[in-house]
Amino acid sequence: MKRVFCITVIILILSSLAEGQPPSYKTGEKVTYTIQYGFITAGNATLELTNDTLNRKDVWHSTLSARTTGMAEALFKVIDIYESYIDPLTELPVRSIRNIHEGHYKKYNVVLFDHKTRRDSSILTSDLTGQHIAPPRIHDVLSCFYFFRNHFLPRDTNFLIKGEIITIITWFCDELYPIRLKYIGTDEIKTKVGKIKCYKFNPVTETGRLFKTQEDVSFWFSADKNFLPVKVRFDIFVGAFTCEITSYEGLVYPLEIKSK
């Protein structure tokens, strides 16, 4: 359960502002999801983007919270909160917070991002592991999907090529974490808010204790101008978890729903 929620946090994300094209999001966007294990409701998650200030500067503040409910909470309680403070001009994170409570395990970690001091690299300062030198313009796991939604998902569907892999280097759990996204094609997803045409991607996963193959995780973004995260599915050794949209507000464009 702990690993599943950790990966869920990586997958359920917003987007950032692309240069030369209209944005796919705006502050005020809020999306809620239900996490299912088979027919059992295991938890819920909320993803929200607001305006904020940090060190007297205007920033975007993205917050993703996930927690178990019902029977799942009785068996293994999880409350995870991830936060990212993002510079609206550069689209890069300036501060990242990981606050997790999973069973008896707890961890609170703050990472500061310095993208200006060095041209050839970023300087990251973790309150747990100290200073690290990372690739330039590195993202955290929230800001990277802001970037992905607006810089890689196209206005022209012919731009995407099936089988293409997009790689974004991020910083997660105090180490470099490359996220590799393989484009699969389009799907029509039936959700509680209606049927939504989506772009489907498979993050390339490591096989082992949790996954049998490198394509056991799938997620879907709406195939409209919002590119909203709609659904995530994890096929693991003990079954399948899904995380699916249940409500939304504050989108830039009306969500294209085929029917309810």
d(CA 124, CA 108): 16
In a domain, 66, yes or no: yes
138 in a structural domain = yes
Contact yes or no for 115/137 (Cβ under 8 A): yes
* 179 compared with 155, residue with greater pLDDT: 179
- Model confidence pLDDT, tens digit, residues 140-171: 999 998 888 888 876 555 678 899 888 899 99
Write down the pLDDT at residue 14.
Answer: 35
In terms of DSSP bridges, do strands 57-68 and 40-54 run parallel, antiparallel, or are they unpaired? antiparallel
Domain assignment present for residue 52? The answer is: yes
Identify the residue whose tokens are 């409350």. 79
**95 strand-pairing partners:** 85, 112
Q: What is the domain extent for residue 54? A: 2-244
185 within some domain: yes
Q: How many domains are contained in the chain? A: 1
**Could you tell me if residue 192 is inside a domain?**
yes
Kindly report, residue by residue over 14-43, the tens digit of the pLDDT: 333 334 567 888 999 999 999 998 788 999
In a domain, 257, yes or no: no
* Percent of all residues in the chain with a pLDDT value above 90, rounded to a whole number: 61
8 A C-beta contact, residue 61 and residue 53 = no
Residue 256 resides in a domain: no
CA–CA distance, 41 with 241 (Å, rounded to integer): 10
Q: What is the pLDDT of residue 5?
A: 41
Which one has a higher pLDDT value, 192 or 211?
192
Is 14 within the bounds of a domain?
yes
Band of residue 249 on the pLDDT scale cut at 50, 70, 90 = very high
Torsion sign over Cα 140, 107, 68, 46: negative
For Cα atoms 15, 21, 24, give the angle at the middle one, nearest 5 degrees.
30
User: Measured on CA atoms in the order 231, 99, 213, 42, is the torsion positive or negative?
Assistant: negative
